[in-house]
């Protein structure tokens, strides 16, 4: 039985292993890396842009040319936060106003374990398994000029796409099945990174301390989820009383139309 990669303790155990980390980076980004140290809960001093933020898993290559951050998100995710992390890792390299050169290439990989709750500006829901963002400029004719290698990758196994490359599919399957089919996962263990990750997060291979910490994280997540739901419900109630539409309330709270309509009924009683 696999440990749940939606759990912070399990996720960090798997992806801070050098074999898993390097294989994951190779398969997702298409680059080979050598690293000395993989850090968790990484912070920068002084703060970047006066914002105190923390990175789940962070590493730099031994030649100091690439820094890679893996961010796991479990709920209430939105792209403003991801974009902020991405840009701040780039900005952090500017040590003084006279030094605008960016020596290291920045990669951010975000792993989402729940379906998207966001939509495009036109209201169309986002249902993509893999999303890519680069900072390279392009001409009016659409030709991309490769000035920067920085890349942001967002992975969400809840929106499968048959065109996703197998190298990425292996990891999306691992993440999804650890959550939804931990007892009988069907995985590509020919991939050494997947094989090592499975070994690390198999329940029997977790220490007593890791099991306890994982259980505590799950309990804390349940409490926090309830608190956030209560907060969203209160915002929705106030918006209903102010005459806001269901679509607008759904957009600002993340509640479903059905949940909002139920609230309307209760408020009218």
| Tally of domains in the chain | 2
Does one domain contain both 113 and 244? no
Closest CA to 27 of 182, 200, 164: 164
Clarify whether residues 191 and 231 are in a common domain.
no
Please report the pLDDT score of residue 173 as a whole number. Answer: 97
How much is the pTM? 0.80
| Together in a domain, 25 and 95 | yes
Residue 95 pLDDT: 63
Both 202 and 106 in a single domain? yes
Which tens digit of pLDDT belongs to each residue from 14-35?
999 999 999 999 999 999 999 9
Comparing 15 with 87, the larger pLDDT belongs to: 15
For residues 92 and 132, state if they share a domain: yes
Share above pLDDT 90 across residues of the chain, in percent, rounded to a whole number: 42
Residue 132 and residue 78 share a domain: yes
C-alpha pair distances (Å), 7 with each of 76, 219, 220: 15, 11, 11
Structural domain contains residue 217? no
Q: Is residue 1 part of a domain?
A: no
Q: Could you tell me the two tokens for 104?
A: 């290291």
How many C-beta atoms surround the C-beta of residue 223 within 10 A?
A: 9
Least confident of 84-93, 133-142, 182-191: 84-93
Q: What is the pLDDT of residue 99?
A: 61
Please state, rounded to an integer, the average pLDDT across all residues of the chain: 86
Domain, as residue range, for 235: 224-268
Flag the least confident range among 66-70, 127-131, 138-142, 211-215: 66-70
Same domain, 149 and 229: no
CA distance 56 to 153: 15
Residues 145 and 259 in one domain: no
Pairing relationship of beta strands 130-134 and 151-155 according to DSSP bridges: antiparallel
Task: Tell me the pLDDT tens digit for each residue of 155-166.
Answer: 999 999 999 999
Residue 2: inside a domain: no
Residue 184: partners with Cβ closer than 8 Å, 6 or more residues away:
none
pLDDT top residue among 65 and 210: 210
Q: What is the pLDDT of residue 176?
A: 95
């Amino acid at each position: 039985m696999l440990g749940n990669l939606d759990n912070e303790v399990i996720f960090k155990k798997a992806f801070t292993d050098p074999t898993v980390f390097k294989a994951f980076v190779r398969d997702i980004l298409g680059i080979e890396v050598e690293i000395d140290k993989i850090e968790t809960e990484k912070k920068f001093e002084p703060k970047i842009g006066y914002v105190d933020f923390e990175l789940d898993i962070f590493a730099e290559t031994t030649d100091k040319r690439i820094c890679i951050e893996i961010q796991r998100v479990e709920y209430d995710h939105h792209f403003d936060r991801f974009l902020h992390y991405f840009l701040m890792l780039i900005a952090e390299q500017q040590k003084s106003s006279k030094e605008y050169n960016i020596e290291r290439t920045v990669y951010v990989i975000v792993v989402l374990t729940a379906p998207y709750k966001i939509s495009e500006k036109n209201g169309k829901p986002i249902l993509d398994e893999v999303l890519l963002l680069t900072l390279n400029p392009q001409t009016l004719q659409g030709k991309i000029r490769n000035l920067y290698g920085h890349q942001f990758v967002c992975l969400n196994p809840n929106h499968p796409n048959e065109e996703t490359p197998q190298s990425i599919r292996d990891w999306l399957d691992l993440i999804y099945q650890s959550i939804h089919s931990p007892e009988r996962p069907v995985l590509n263990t020919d991939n050494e990174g997947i094989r090592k990750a499975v070994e690390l997060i198999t329940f029997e291979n977790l220490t007593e301390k890791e099991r306890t910490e994982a259980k505590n994280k799950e309990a804390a997540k349940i409490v926090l989820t309830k608190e956030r739901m209560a907060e969203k419900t209160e915002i929705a109630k106030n918006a209903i009383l102010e005459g806001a539409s269901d679509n607008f309330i759904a957009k600002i709270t993340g509640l479903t139309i059905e949940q909002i309509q139920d609230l309307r009924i209760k408020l009218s009683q």
